[in-house]
Amino acid sequence: MSSTVSAPAYLRPADVDEAVALVAADPGAAYLAGGTTHLDLLLKDAVIESTRLVDIGRLPLRGTAVRDGVLRVGALTTMAELAADPVVERHLPMVRESLLAGASPQLRNMATVGGNLLQRTRCRYFRDRDVPACNKRRPGSGCAAVHGPARMHAVLGAGPDCIAAHASDLCVPLAALDAVVRLRGPAGTRGVPLTEFHLRPGDRPDIENVLAHGELITHVDVPLPPDGVRSHYLKVRDRASYEFAVVSVAAALAVEDGRIAAARLALGGVGTVPWRAWEAERVLLGAPAGTGTFEAAAGAALRDPFTVPGTEFKVDLAARAIVQALGAVSALGTSATDRPAPGAPS
C-alpha cells in the first residue's frame, strides 16, 4: 500500500439501481453513507483504498415499518433515529440499549444501521499501516496481535491467523433476534440471516462478510419477540461512554412457572463476529430459571476459547456478565448497568 492517499472519485446516484451499477462496474468502488468508519479508514488511517465513492445518503432507504410481526429498518436509518423509534422502545429494549451504549450522540446522529453492520474491527494492528503483520489488511502476512499486546481482542471464533474482535454493539442483539439482512446487487435481491452475514476469519481474515461486490444493504428485518419476553443489553467497558465493549451480552428470556420457555443469547467484545451463543440457549431452554442454570449456560457459551496473554481475563468476565444479564431478564436480578472492567482506570 502506498504511503500517499489519492482522492477517489465521488458520485451521487439517483436511485438504488444506479448505485448498484456504479459500484459493480468498478472493483475499487465503495458505498458511502454516514462515513463514520469508512472515511476514517480511507483518509485518516489510510489502511483501505477506494477508487470511487458512491454516496447513497439521499436514497430512500430510511425509516421503519412493521408488518406481520417484523420491524423493517431502512439501511440509512441512523442509530439515533432507530433508538427513538417507539416500536423499538416498547418491544426491543436490548436493541435500544445497544444503540444508546454505542459511540457518542454526535456519531449516533450520523452513523447508519447498514454502516453499523459493516463496521470494521477496532484492532489497533489492523488500523496501523506501519504494522506489517495483519492478515485482514495484508493476507498472508500474519497476525501481530497474537504475539503482541492484546486486550480488546476476541476469544471466540479466533485462531492463530486473526483475533480481531467485531466492534458493533447493535449487531449483538440483532444476532440474538434472528434479524435478516436484505441485499440488492447486480444479480437481484436476497436475504441473509445476520448470524450468517459475518464470516469468521479462518485462513482468510480479509473476507469479513458474504457481500458480493456491488451488493448493497437496503433493509434489516427484525422479528418482534412475543409477549412475555424480557430483554436486556449489558455492556462492560473501560469508561462510561464513547468506548467499545470489553464484553457485552444481549439476553432475552421468557419464564413460565419458573422454567425458561424461550431464550436468546448473543455476545459482543469477545467474538470475531457477533456471537450467537447457540449452545447456551440449548442449556437454558426448559431449565429452571436460576443462577445454576445461568452459570451452566455461560460455561457452554464460552467453551474452547482461543486466548493469548492479555485476553484470558475475558473468559471469566464474559461468564459473569452472562449470569448478570440473564438474572436481570429473568426477574431474579436487578436491572443490569454498565460496570467498568476489572483493572480499568477510574
Q: How far apart are CA 185 and CA 187, in angstroms?
A: 5
Residue 228, amino acid: G
Q: Are 106 and 187 found together in one domain? A: yes
Q: Are 218 and 236 found together in one domain? A: no
Computed over its alpha carbons, how large is the radius of gyration of the chain?
Answer: 20
Q: Is residue 43 part of a domain?
A: no
Q: What is the CATH number of the domain that holds 69?
A: 3.30.465.10
Predicted local confidence at residue 48, as pLDDT: 85
Domain boundary among 174, 194, 223: 223
Q: How far apart are CA 298 and CA 27, in angstroms?
A: 43
Q: Express as a percent the part of the chain with pLDDT over 90.
A: 88
Q: What is the CATH number of the domain that holds 282?
A: 3.30.390.50
Q: Are 272 and 189 found together in one domain? A: no
Q: Is residue 4 part of a domain?
A: no
| Prediction pTM value | 0.92
Q: Are 183 and 290 found together in one domain? A: no
Q: Is residue 141 part of a domain?
A: no
Domain boundary among 181, 198, 223: 223
Q: Are 329 and 218 found together in one domain? A: no
Predicted local confidence at residue 241, as pLDDT: 87
Domain boundary among 204, 223, 242: 223
225, 69 contact by CB (below 8 A): no
Q: Are 238 and 182 found together in one domain? A: no
Q: Are 91 and 235 found together in one domain? A: no
Task: Give the model confidence (pLDDT) of 6-19 as tens digits.
Answer: 689 999 999 999 99
Predicted local confidence at residue 39, as pLDDT: 83
Task: Give the model confidence (pLDDT) of 211-231 as tens digits.
Answer: 999 999 999 999 999 999 999
Helix (H) or strand (E) holding 82: helix 79-83
Q: Are 284 and 304 found together in one domain? A: yes
CA torsion, ordered 199, 204, 205, 207, to nearest 10 deg: -60
Q: Is residue 50 part of a domain?
A: no
Place of cell 428470556: 253
Predicted local confidence at residue 337, as pLDDT: 37
Predicted local confidence at residue 4, as pLDDT: 52
Predicted local confidence at residue 45, as pLDDT: 83
pLDDT, tens digit only, all 346 positions of the chain: 444 556 899 999 999 999 999 999 999 999 999 988 888 888 778 888 999 999 999 999 999 999 999 999 999 999 999 999 999 999 999 999 999 999 999 999 999 999 999 999 999 999 999 999 999 999 999 999 999 999 999 999 999 999 999 999 999 999 999 999 999 999 999 999 999 999 999 999 999 999 999 999 999 999 999 999 999 999 999 998 889 999 999 999 999 999 999 999 999 999 999 999 999 999 999 999 999 999 999 999 999 999 999 999 999 999 999 999 999 999 764 333 333 443 333 2
Q: Are 79 and 183 found together in one domain? A: yes
Strand intervals (E) in 62-101: 64-67, 70-74
Q: Are 74 and 208 found together in one domain? A: yes
Q: Is residue 1 part of a domain?
A: no
Domain count, the chain: 2
Q: Is residue 20 part of a domain?
A: no
Q: Are 96 and 244 found together in one domain? A: no
Q: How far apart are CA 208 and CA 128, in angstroms?
A: 18
Query: Residue 276: which domain range?
Result: 230-340
Task: Give the model confidence (pLDDT) of 75-121 as tens digits.
Answer: 999 999 999 999 999 999 999 999 999 999 999 999 999 999 999 99
Q: How far apart are CA 67 and CA 53, in angstroms?
A: 33
Q: Is residue 259 part of a domain?
A: yes
Q: Are 219 and 256 found together in one domain? A: no
Q: Is residue 94 part of a domain?
A: yes
